[in-house]
Amino acid sequence: MIFRPLEAAQPESDPPDEEAEADAAQGSTAGAVPTTQAPEPDDPATTGAAESLGAPAGPEPLPRERLSPGRSLRPLHRRIALADMVAYGAATWDWHRLHYDEAHARRLGAPAPLVDGQMLGALLAECVLRAAGPSARLVRLAYRNRAPVHAGETVTCSGTIATADDAGFSVDLSVSVGDRLVVAPAFAQLDWTSG
């Protein structure tokens, strides 16, 4: 199975400057450029600007020798907007109203439409593939959804390398919204394809 990230999702960023806030209040997106904190200069897995899903730019993958058990992957932060959820529904042919219809979600007791759990799996895949780079292949991804995620919430995908050898590596993963754990346990197995 190949996971293809969405084009429309917006990265989580530091608070916008006053000019960007004014533009946003007026409905304009001009000048609303995502920002990130200063990267750690010695670790390629923690460098790079915040990227939207599907953006080709991003942090350099970690060299294989640095993918060692106990090492944490750079967290992936994403704010999942309703537009992202509609795009994901179109890509996966999942048109359940709970994933896009705000009035329907509220009638069912949810504060906003629910993020499709498979979308969280795609973000977990992005998190591990970003760390491994193009010479790795995701061969297994397993996860358990524990709590709902709603439109407009920001998720953080985190991972710690569990095993690593010449054939590949495995990662223990989780997804949270603030202090609320929404996906766990989660596990990914990657194999090296070349080099």
Residue 170 lies in a domain: yes
pLDDT score of 50 more than 70: no
Residue 3 lies in a domain: no
Q: How many domains does the chain have?
A: 1
Residue 42 lies in a domain: yes
pLDDT score of 23 more than 60: no
Residue 30 lies in a domain: yes
End-to-end, the C-alpha distance of the chain in Å comes to 22
Tokens 């998190």: give the residue: 127
pLDDT band at 70; cut points 50, 70, 90: very high
Residue 4 lies in a domain: no
Residue 177 lies in a domain: yes
Residue 52 lies in a domain: yes
pLDDT score of 90 more than 70: yes
- Domain carrying residue 21: 10-192
How many angstroms separate the CA atoms of 51 and 127, rounded? 12
CATH number at residue 33: 3.10.129.10
Q: What are the tens digits of pLDDT across the range 111-122? A: 999 999 999 999
Residue 5 lies in a domain: no
